[in-house]
Amino acid sequence: MPTRLELIHGNIMDAEVDAIVNPTDLVLSGGGGLDFAIRQAAGSDVDHACEEILENRGGCQTGEAVITTAGNLSAKHIIHTVGPIWTGGRIGEPKLLESCHRECLQLAMKYEVQSIAFPAISTGNFGYPFEKAAPIALKTVKEFVEYALQHGTPVPDLIQFFLFQEETYVCYVKALSYLGFRLSCFLGKDT
């Protein structure tokens, strides 16, 4: 069955999905931007889960993802991922951003998540340019879903990108159009 991909101009905290993706830092601190907002809304259960991950694994490396409960949020899970800090693309930022999206989807599959919402990873405090991040994010998700479906592997039925800023939303719309899709489309429908 194909996966529905949607671009939404709005706040990821309003997503009605099984899992939301939280862009965080190496020590899962909840210290700034969207990470702070999500962690504040999710409450102490998520804080404790992140502390446990920090103790057991030493945190989360750039390009990796970990999963926790969603605490007080309507979602079941929060998938925390550490996006790359933009330094001009000289230290492999595109590959690390691809890895963030792939790892989040791998965790979603492992935990049988049927719907997932992504923000524009790394485009806030980490300074990744919207126009460079958007095609990487969308192409990575598209290729991941198509590959999984071709191999009979179940993937989420719904993947949303919640894009808070107008400028970010416009960049993602353009990138999706460049891939040949509309704001709301199906991935893998020909497989």
**Cβ atoms 67, 77 nearer than 8 A:** yes
What's the CA dihedral at 79, 135, 36, 160 to 10 degrees? Answer: -50
With a threshold of 0.85, does the pTM exceed it? yes
pLDDT of residue 191: 39
Query: Which CATH number fits the domain 3-187, given the four candidates 3.40.190.80, 1.10.10.350, 3.30.1330.50, 3.40.220.10?
Result: 3.40.220.10
Q: How far apart are the first and last CA of the chain?
A: 9
* 68 bridge partner residues: 78
Q: pLDDT for 99-138, tens place per residue? A: 999 999 999 999 999 999 999 999 999 999 999 999 999 9
Cα 165 to Cα 54, 120, 125: the distances in Å are 31, 10, 13
Residue 127, CB-side half-sphere exposure with 13 Å CA sphere: 5
Q: pLDDT for 12-38, tens place per residue? A: 999 999 999 999 999 999 988 999 999
pLDDT of residue 190: 52
Q: pLDDT for 95-105, tens place per residue? A: 999 999 999 99
**Cβ atoms 122, 85 nearer than 8 A:** yes
**Cβ atoms 120, 130 nearer than 8 A:** yes
Residues with catalytic roles: 35
Does residue 172 register a pLDDT over 90?
Answer: yes
User: How buried is 37 (Cβ within 10 angstroms: 0-12 exposed, 13-18 middle, 19+ buried)?
Assistant: middle
What's the CA dihedral at 64, 113, 35, 177 to 10 degrees? Answer: 80
Helices (H), 20-152: 33-42, 44-57, 93-110, 130-150
